[in-house]
Amino acid sequence: MSWIPSLDKTPPPGRPTDWVSLSRFRLQAVIGVYPHERLHPQPLDIDLAMQLDTRVAATTLNLAKSIDYAKVARDLRLLIQGARFHLLETAAEAIAAFLLAPSPDRACPESVQVKLYKPSALDGLATPSVAIYRTPRDFEFTAGDLPSEIRIFASADVKISLVDCPPGGFTSSGSQVFVPLCEGDQTAQRALAITRCGDREFLSQPTQAFDFQAPFEKPLTHTVTTQI
């Protein structure tokens, strides 16, 4: 499977020919299975390709008929940094589910391709990556227990839903936290409900994962002391 379809090839019958892409989006996130990866964020690069018909958006200037890639980037940052995935495979699957989930403010892609890279995982020897292709038929989006909750993804280490934000906000409890999907200074209407099951440090200190300002945006530094 080629990563981005070649434009000189005839598309499959009945499928849109358009793609909205986001290439080499880099953020800092806790991702991995080794102890040092659970303690320190590392770079994660993301390539996305979302297939949909963009003709209505092109002629009406209605961005809700296409994909707002700036909002996608903001939302994915919250999703990935909040979930603290153990495997690239899990992260890729959750990203695809999130992008394909029903949304009132954007068009739903016909399919998505997601490719994740961990550039620093092997100390520069090689760059591991995972690439997947998914359509809405690959997921079962079901209603949850909260008002307007849509359960979009579940694995052994994390469960993710989309929920409406109540007027008084949310109260996090136990291992579940809520991350508003804000747009600039506007009041968030929707939020991510993330339940993490895999990290003991999260279960004892559930709110620290969402203190994004310092630890998630600064590059990692290493100090080496040599004794003679």
The encoded tokens of residue 95 equal 């990203």
Catalytic residue among 115, 118, 159, 218: 118
Q: How many Å apart are CA 181 and CA 193, to the nearest integer? A: 10
Cα Rg, the chain, nearest whole Å: 19
Which residue, 154, 146, 177, 151, is CA-closest to 81?
177
Strands of the chain (E only): list them. Answer: 19-29, 42-51, 111-117, 129-134, 142-143, 150-154, 158-164, 176-180, 190-196
The encoded tokens of residue 121 equal 């995982």
Q: How many Å apart are CA 155 and CA 33, to the nearest integer? A: 15
Any catalytic annotation for residue 65?
A: no
Q: How many Å apart are CA 130 and CA 93, to the nearest integer? A: 10
Q: Which residues are annotated as catalytic? A: 118
